[in-house]
């Protein structure tokens, strides 16, 4: 049996957030000629730099693998 390895490009960007996260717009950025410095955005998916990005990705991947019929090893939950 051959070993297989996969690389998910932008893995953290593909995981949905489990909590509501608000983000301020970067200062000095003007979009469509309008200064959006006073706007707050609600994130729909995880982004790099969030503390919970790794956890959200792990939970998302675990659910996907369980849907494929795989189970987690009790002795080492990283596998």
**Separation CA 66–CA 10 (nearest Å):** 21
Reported in sequence order, the residue ranges of the chain that DSSP labels E, i.e. its strands, are: 22-24, 30-31, 34-35, 40-42
Task: Please spell the DSSP secondary structure of 21-34, one letter per residue.
Answer: -EEEPPTT-EETTE
**Separation CA 32–CA 63 (nearest Å):** 39
Q: What is the pLDDT of residue 69?
A: 92
Tens digit of pLDDT per residue, the chain (79 long)? 567 777 777 777 878 888 898 988 777 777 777 666 677 888 888 888 888 888 888 888 889 889 999 888 888 877 6
Q: What is the pLDDT of residue 68?
A: 92
Q: What is the pLDDT of residue 1?
A: 55
């Amino acid at each position: 049996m051959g070993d297989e390895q996969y690389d998910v490009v932008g893995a953290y960007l593909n995981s949905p957030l489990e909590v509501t996260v608000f983000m301020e717009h970067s200062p000095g950025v003007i979009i469509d000629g309008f200064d959006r410095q006073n706007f707050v955005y609600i994130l729909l998916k995880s982004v790099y730099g969030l503390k919970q990005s790794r956890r959200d990705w792990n939970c998302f991947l675990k659910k996907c693998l369980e849907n494929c019929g795989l189970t987690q090893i009790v002795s080492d939950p990283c596998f």
